[in-house]
Amino acid sequence: MNIAPKDDPEPPAVKQFLETGVNPYNEKAECLPLGNFLYLSSCSGCHGHVAEGKVGPGLNDAYWTYPKNRTDKGLFETIYGGAQGMMGPHSDKSINEILNIMAWIRHLYAEDPKKARWLTPEQREVFKPYVEDKSVEHGTAELAQAVPADQCGTMRH
């Protein structure tokens, strides 16, 4: 499956995701600032600043409006292809950008890690439910641009 634009070189994480359906950016700390920025600029208006839900459903708990979103493959399909008329398709984002957004959404999870199917057993052992630290700056373009492109890919714009 290759849905990336021809002029957008795919980072290794994209190839890995397309082969396995598992997001390699999940809980990869160095990539989270990019996912945070992209989420705030594309998703927070409907899903809330910390995915608590607004017009759109909450994304930070164990309840999924679309059960397939419990898996990375399912969440990708929903973001890329849209959600039954409510949320339009996000084909405006590269696969890499969507993977970074998904990693941020997964990072915002605030419930029992045992219910988080997307975490590996090793990640479940150390996962701490998200608590926003308002004393720390986050979600800025500067922080997003500072992520290592060789490990997290880049933004299109």
Residues 6 or more apart whose CB falls under 8 angstroms from that of 32 comprise 103, 104, 107
Say how many domains are in the chain.
1
**pLDDT tens string 53-95:** 999 999 999 999 889 999 999 999 999 988 876 777 788 899 9
Range of 134's domain?
Answer: 28-152
**Domain assignment of residue 15, yes or no:** no
Which tops the pLDDT comparison, 136 or 46? 46
Is 4 part of a structural domain of the chain?
no
CATH value at residue 70: 1.10.760.10
Burial class (CB in 10 A: 0-12, 13-18, 19+), 138: middle
Cα end-to-end span (Å), the chain: 24
**pLDDT above 60: residue 7:** no
Binding annotation: 43, 46-47
Q: Does residue 102 lie within any of the structural domains?
A: yes
Annotated binding site for heme c: 43, 46-47
Q: What angle separates helix 95-107 from helix 12-20, to the nearest 10 degrees?
A: 70
53 domain residue, yes or no: yes
